[in-house]
Structure 1
Amino acid sequence: MMIKQAEFLISAVKPSQYPDLGFNEVAFVGRSNVGKSSLINTLTNRRKLVKVSGTPGKTRLINFFLINGKYCFVDLPGYGYAKVSKVEKQKWGKMIEDYLIKRDNLKKVVLLLDIRHKPTQDDIQMYEWIKYYGYEIIIVATKKDKLSNNQIAKSDKVIRQTLKLDKDEKIIHFSSLKKQGKEELLEAIFKNLD
């Protein structure tokens, strides 16, 4: 499936602000600075659809994007950023939780992990949480271009052990810089999404 059209719809902080289009949604979640904005821009072939920042923790709202006129991509705030106050972190946590629990349109969640680092406690919690609520989960290891194939294999092992992944759970390796993993991820996103 190719993305031919992508446009920003709305930013929201609470359920009453979510768009009411009835379209199936795919949410993107991950630690601050994991490359979420760059990944969405790469998937949609739009360099500036999502603002990319050098400062982690910039996404503070839930951003909805209309894709091909019939789906929505949902960019959730990054978690685990240390330089944010405890109160702010709790607010983000509540915002993410409300969306994940109360959104009937949500069909799949793309969990982004930085391939260079062992998944954090926040990553483990998010993975378990998504599984608990029964959403289809797509695991993406970003920044693939930063490692050799040998290092990627080692990193995969660490991710699998840390998250206790089943053998049949796939990890998609992705590089926004080199546009690697794009087709595989698009295929996973749009498979049975209708």
Structure 2
Amino acid sequence: MANPLAQAEFRFSADAIKQLPVDTVLEVAFAGRSNAGKSSALNALTHQKSLARTSKTPGRTQQLVYFEAKPERYLVDLPGYGYAKVPEQVRLHWQQFINQYFQVRASLAGLIVVMDVRHPLREYDLQMLDFAKNRSLPAHCLLTKSDKLGRGPQAKTLLEVRKALGGVATAQLFSAETKIGIDEARKVVAGWLQL
């Protein structure tokens, strides 16, 4: 099957609501802690090596980055949260912007929450899932870096996360490195974007 996300291209970055495209498109937001593997997940899903810039430096993404998969169908990379080394003022601006984005953005078709399988469901992950829940948006969790655990621990973590989510979101194992779960995740995103 052809990859419906393979044509994704960088379009623009935004750090204010007024810079976003007309609110009649469809978009899927990708959120995650700094260094959880969000950029790697985006690259794996689109089957591109450097669509989203990966970095060893936490907090590299400092704006909403829009990638167009098909006309008026976007993948949106949100700033990494957690321990990004940024000034307090910048962090507060992100927070307000992201809050506003989730409240007013009608184009938002779903939320992918990227979390390291070894550290799932941290405070900010739960906050992101709350945004989705409050908006009745579908949410899907990618437990990245799954290759770092053996099969037993992978299955155990997945079961625990699904139980903790209680139906608020779906979850799966994922590894950009060993290609675990890429097709499954791609199907979710493509479905939300009606591709």
Aligned twin of 1:129: 131
Aligned twin of 1:76: 78
Aligned twin of 2:172: 172
For the 8 Å contact 2:158–2:172, the answer to whether it is kept is no
Quote the offset at 1:5 in angstroms.
0.9
C-alpha separation in 1, matches of 2:61 and 2:94: 10
Quote the offset at 1:42 in angstroms.
0.9
C-alpha separation in 2, matches of 1:105 and 1:64: 13
Higher mean C-alpha deviation, range 4-13 or range 116-125: 116-125
Aligned twin of 2:17: 15
1:149 aligns with 2:156: no
C-alpha separation in 2, matches of 1:63 and 1:173: 25
Aligned twin of 2:49: 47
- 2:188 corresponds to which letter in structure 1? A
C-alpha separation in 2, matches of 1:16 and 1:168: 30
1:21-69 C-alpha deviation (Å, 9 max, x unpaired)? 7321001001111111111011111111111111011100000011033
Q: Residue 192 and residue 117 in structure 1: after superposition, are their counterparts in 2 closer, same or farther (change >3 A)? A: closer
TM-score by length of 1: 0.90
State how many pairs are aligned: 192
C-alpha separation in 2, matches of 1:44 and 1:82: 25
For the 8 Å contact 2:129–2:169, the answer to whether it is kept is no
Aligned twin of 1:182: 182
C-alpha separation in 2, matches of 1:90 and 1:132: 21
C-alpha separation in 1, matches of 2:192 and 2:186: 12
Aligned twin of 2:107: 105
Unaligned segments of structure 1, at least 5 residues: none
Higher mean C-alpha deviation, range 151-160 or range 86-95: 151-160
C-alpha separation in 2, matches of 1:4 and 1:21: 23
For the 8 Å contact 2:162–2:170, the answer to whether it is kept is no
- 1:190 corresponds to which letter in structure 2? A
1:136-187 C-alpha deviation (Å, 9 max, x unpaired)? 11111111111101111232244345xx322695311111111221110111
TM-score by length of 2: 0.90
C-alpha separation in 2, matches of 1:153 and 1:182: 17
Q: Residue 132 and residue 43 in structure 1: after superposition, are their counterparts in 2 closer, same or farther (change >3 A)? A: same
Give me the CA root mean square deviation: 1.9
